[in-house]
C-alpha cells in the first residue's frame, strides 16, 4: 500500500517541527555514526531544530559507559561537524546521549533497551516516538528488525498516538534476488510506511534543486526531451582510494556501491516526468517509472554498454598513491572494479534515442559530481557553416560537488572585426548567493525522518527496479573475467575503454 501519511509537501517540510522523539543508533561505535550521524544530530540541536524532548541511545556490542560514549561523540563532532563545539550547547546535547550494550540477534538485549527507553521517557522522549537507525553491516538488518518486532518496539500506533520508524543504509542487497529477500525480511517487522531507505546523495541541496530547476522555470521544460537534447552525462568522480577499506570494497565494487543507488537516483531526477504533486509517493512513482523504462542490457552484450576499470599506483594531486591491489585485505588478482562507465537508454516518449552516459570511479583526476545536459547543435548554416570550426553545443551543467551550482554554456561573438563564435558560461554558484552555506545531507534527511516525510528516500519498488537493471550487468561480467586489471593509473580519468564508449558515438566526456 502507498504511504499516504508521508505525502508531505517538499516545499514546506522544514517549516514544521518534528514530534518529540528518541533515536536509537545501532552500530553506534562505527565509522558512519562518528563521521555523519552524531555531527548531524548535533548541528540540528545547535540550530534549535530538534524537538524539545529529544534523546539519543547508542547501541553496539562493545562495552561502553554513557560518559565514554559522550567522549566518543565529542571527538567525532569536534572533527567532523560543520559547526564548532559550543560549550553550553554541547553540555546540554551530551546530557541527552546514552549508551546501551547489546547483541543484534538476541531479544533479551532489546528488552533491556526497552527498559532504558521507558526510563528516559519521563525525562526526555515524552511522545514515545522512536527512530531506529541501522548503521550496521546489512547482515545484521534482519536480526535487528526481528528483535524490534518481537519485543514490540516496531509498533506504529494506528491512531497516531506514537510512531516507530526504521532507517536503512545501503547497500540493500547485492543483486535483485538478495534485495528482494532483504526487503521481505524488513517488511515482516516494519510496514513500508515506517521504512526509510537512505541515500545521502538525495539530501544534497543541489540534487533537491534539480526538480525546482526543471519544474519551476518555464524555459527548461519545453526543451527537456529528445527533440532538443542530444545526450546526458552524469559523473561522480573521487580522488580518494581504498587503502584502508579494501576488505569492505572487495565484496562490493563500484557498480553496487555507486551506480545502483547514487547514479541511478540522479538519472531518475533528471529524466522523470512532472509529478502530479510534491508528495513523497507522487515523486517516487515517477522515479520508479524511469527505472522500469531503462532498456535492459543483455548479459551477452554487456561489454557494448558497460566498462569497468581498476586503478594502479599513480599520482593524485601531486602525491604518490598505491594501486588498489596493494591495499590491505585485497587480493593480488582482484577482479573488483573501482570504476564503471555505462551507456543507458530510457525507452519512453520523452527520451527515445537519447543516450545517458554514467561514470564513477575511485582515484580519478578530480573530486566532483556533475550532471551535464548536452543540447542538440544548431544547423550547419550561418555561424555554423564551417565544418572545420563547428559551433559548440549548449551545455547545462548541474554541479553537485564541489562548488555547488548551475552553469549554462552559450555561444557568443568574440569582440573584434571577425565573426568568431566561442562558448561562454553563465554561472550561478550557491556560495555566492547563499553565503551562509547549506546543511549537510544527513541533517536534512534525519530531519525528514523525524517529520515523517519520505520524499527523499527510496521506496521498495524503486530499489528492486534498480537492481533489476543492474543484476544482468553483474552476471555478464561474472561470466567474462578481466585480463587487463589494473587498466588505469591513479590520477587519470580512467581506462581508454571508457573514452571509447563515447567515441563510438562521435562524442566525448565533458572536461570537468
Q: Are 324 and 220 contained in the same domain?
A: yes
**Residue 179 placed within a domain:** no
**DSSP tally for the chain: helices H, then strands E:** 17, 18
Question: By C-alpha distance, which of 190, 93, 180, 177 is closest to 134?
Answer: 190
Asked if residue 175 belongs to a domain, the reply is: no
Burial of 460 (0-12, 13-18, 19+ CB in 10 A): buried
**In terms of domains, do 352 and 497 share one?**
yes
Strand-pair category, 421-429 with 405-413: antiparallel
- In angstroms, the CA 482 to CA 503 distance is 22
Write the burial class of residue 408 (CB in 10 Å: 0-12 exposed, 13-18 middle, 19+ buried).
middle
In a domain, 4, yes or no: no
Quick check: bond before 486 cis, omega within 30?
yes
Q: Which residues of the chain have pLDDT under 50?
A: 1-14
Mention every residue, 6+ apart, whose C-beta is less than 8 A from residue 86: 46
DSSP annotation string for 312-371:
ESEEETTEEE--GGGSTT--TT----SEEEEEEEB-STTTTT-EEEEEEESSBS--EEEE
* H or E element that contains 79: helix 66-80
Query: Whose CA is closest to 169, among 196, 202, 151, 204?
Result: 196
- Phi/psi at 171 (5° precision): -85, 140
Q: Are residues 158 and 257 in the same domain?
A: no
C-alpha count within 13 angstroms, C-beta hemisphere, residue 424 = 8
Q: 433-468 pLDDT, tens per residue? A: 776 667 788 999 999 999 999 999 999 999 999 999
Q: Which residues are catalytic?
A: 262
- This prediction's pTM: 0.90
Query: Do 157 and 226 sit in the same domain of this protein?
Result: no
Closest Cα partner for 272 from 287, 257, 284?
A: 287
**Residue 68: domain span:** 20-162
Please report the pLDDT score of residue 6 as a whole number.
40
Query: 97-107: string of b/e by CB count within 10 Å (b at 16+)?
Result: bbbbbbebeeb
pLDDT score at 387: 73
Work out whether strand 306-309 and strand 229-237 pair parallel, antiparallel, or are unpaired.
unpaired
Beta bridge pairs of residue 24? 57, 132
Residue 336, φ and ψ in degrees, nearest 5:
-75, 130
| Bridge partner list, 409 | 395, 425
- Which of 133, 162, 191 lies at the terminal end of a domain, its last residue? 162
Determine, yes or no, domain membership for 333: yes
Q: Is 327 inside a domain boundary?
A: yes
Residue 435 has a pLDDT of 66
Provide the β-strand partners of residue 495: none
Q: Across-strand partners of 232?
A: 356, 373
Residue 505: other Cβ atoms inside 10 A: 13
Residues 148 and 211 in one domain: no
Examine the domain organization and report whether 263 and 145 are in the same domain: no
Q: Per the domain annotation, does 169 fall within a domain?
A: no
Do 139 and 214 have their domain in common? no
Q: What is the CATH number of the domain that holds 443?
A: 3.30.360.10
Does residue 243 share a domain with residue 138? Answer: no
Same domain for 348 and 495: yes
Do 265 and 407 belong together in one domain?
A: yes
Q: Last residue of some domain: 162, 187, 219?
A: 162
Which sign does the torsion angle of CA 352, 355, 360, 365 carry? Answer: negative
Asked if residue 173 is part of any domain, the answer here is: no
What CATH number is associated with residue 123? 3.40.50.720
Query: What integer pLDDT is reported at residue 8 of this predicted model?
Result: 40
Residues 140 and 92 in one domain: yes
Task: Please check whether residue 57 is in contact with residue 116, taking contact to mean a CB–CB distance below 8 angstroms.
Answer: yes
Q: How much is the pLDDT for 4? A: 40
Query: Which residue, 162, 193, 226, sits at the end of a domain?
Result: 162
Pair 293, 388 in one domain: yes
The answer to whether residue 409 sits within a structural domain is yes
User: Domain count of the chain?
Assistant: 2
Amino acid at each position: 500500500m502507498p504511504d499516504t501519511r508521508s505525502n508531505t509537501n517538499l516545499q514546506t517540510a522544514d517549516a514544521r517541527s518534528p514530534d518529540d522523539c528518541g533515536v536509537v543508533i545501532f552500530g553506534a561505535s562505527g565509522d558512519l555514526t562518528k563521521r555523519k550521524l552524531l555531527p548531524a544530530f548535533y548541528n540540528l540541536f545547535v540550530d534549535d531544530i530538534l524537538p524539545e524532548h529529544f534523546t539519543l541511545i547508542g547501541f553496539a556490542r562493545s562495552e561502553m559507559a554513557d560518559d565514554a560514549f559522550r567522549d566518543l561523540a565529542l571527538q567525532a563532532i569536534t572533527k567532523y561537524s560543520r559547526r564548532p563545539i559550543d560549550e553550553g550547547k554541547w553540555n546540554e546535547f551530551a546530557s541527552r546521549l546514552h549508551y546501551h550494550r547489546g547483541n543484534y540477534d538476541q531479544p533479551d538485549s532489546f528488552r533491556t533497551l526497552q527498559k532504558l527507553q521507558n526510563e528516559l521517557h519521563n525525562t526526555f522522549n515524552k511522545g514515545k516516538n522512536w527512530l531506529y537507525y541501522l548503521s550496521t553491516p546489512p547482515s545484521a538488518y534482519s536480526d535487528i528488525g526481528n528483535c524490534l518486532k518481537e519485543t514490540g518496539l516496531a509498533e506504529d500506533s494506528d491512531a497516531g498516538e506514537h510512531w516507530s520508524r526504521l532507517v536503512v543504509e545501503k547497500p540493500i542487497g547485492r543483486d535483485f534476488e538478495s534485495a528482494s529477500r532483504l526487503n521481505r525480511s524488513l517488511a515482516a517487522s516494519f510496514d513500508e510506511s515506517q521504512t526509510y531507505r537512505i541515500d545521502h546523495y538525495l539530501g544534497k541541496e543541489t540534487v533537491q534543486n534539480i526538480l525546482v530547476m526543471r519544474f519551476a522555470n518555464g524555459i527548461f521544460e519545453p526543451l527537456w526531451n529528445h527533440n532538443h537534447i542530444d545526450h546526458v552525462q552524469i559523473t561522480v568522480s573521487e580522488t580518494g582510494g581504498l587503502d584502508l577499506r579494501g576488505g569492505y570494497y572487495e565484496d562490493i565494487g563500484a557498480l553496487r556501491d555507486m551506480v545502483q543507488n547514487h547514479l541511478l537516483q540522479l538519472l531518475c531526477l533528471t529524466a522523470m516526468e512532472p509529478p502530479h504533486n510534491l508528495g513523497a509517493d507522487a515523486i517516487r512513482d515517477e522515479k520508479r517509472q524511469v527505472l522500469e523504462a531503462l532498456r535492459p542490457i543483455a548479459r551477452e552484450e554487456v561489454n557494448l554498454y558497460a566498462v569497468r576499470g581498476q586503478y594502479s599506483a599513480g599520482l593524485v594531486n601531486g602525491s604518490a598513491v598505491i594501486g588498489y591491489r596493494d591495499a590491505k585485505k585485497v587480493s593480488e588478482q582482484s577482479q573488483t572494479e573501482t570504476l564503471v562507465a555505462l551507456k543507458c537508454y530510457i525507452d519512453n516518449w520523452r527520451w527515445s534515442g537519447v543516450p545517458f552516459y554514467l561514470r564513477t570511479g575511485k582515484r580519478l583526476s578530480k573530486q566532483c559530481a556533475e550532471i551535464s545536459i548536452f543540447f542538440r547543435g544548431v544547423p550547419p548554416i550561418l555561424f555554423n557553416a564551417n565544418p572545420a570550426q563547428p559551433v559548440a553545443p549548449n551545455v547545462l551543467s548541474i554541479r553537485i560537488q564541489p562548488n555547488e551550482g548551475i552553469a549554462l554554456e552559450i555561444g557568443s561573438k568574440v569582440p573584434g572585426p571577425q565573426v568568431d563564435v566561442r562558448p561562454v558560461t553563465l554561472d550561478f554558484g550557491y556560495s555566492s548567493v547563499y553565503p551562509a552555506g547549506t546543511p549537510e545531507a544527513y541533517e536534512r534527511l534525519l530531519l525528514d525522518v523525524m517529520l515523517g516525510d519520505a520524499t527523499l528516500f527510496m521506496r521498495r519498488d524503486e530499489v528492486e527496479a534498480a537492481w533489476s537493471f543492474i543484476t544482468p550487468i553483474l552476471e555478464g561480467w561474472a561470466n567474462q573475467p578481466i585480463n587487463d586489471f589494473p587498466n588505469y593509473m591513479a590520477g587519470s580519468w580512467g581506462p581508454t575503454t571508457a573514452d571509447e564508449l563515447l567515441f563510438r558515438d562521435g562524442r566525448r566526456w565533458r572536461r570537468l
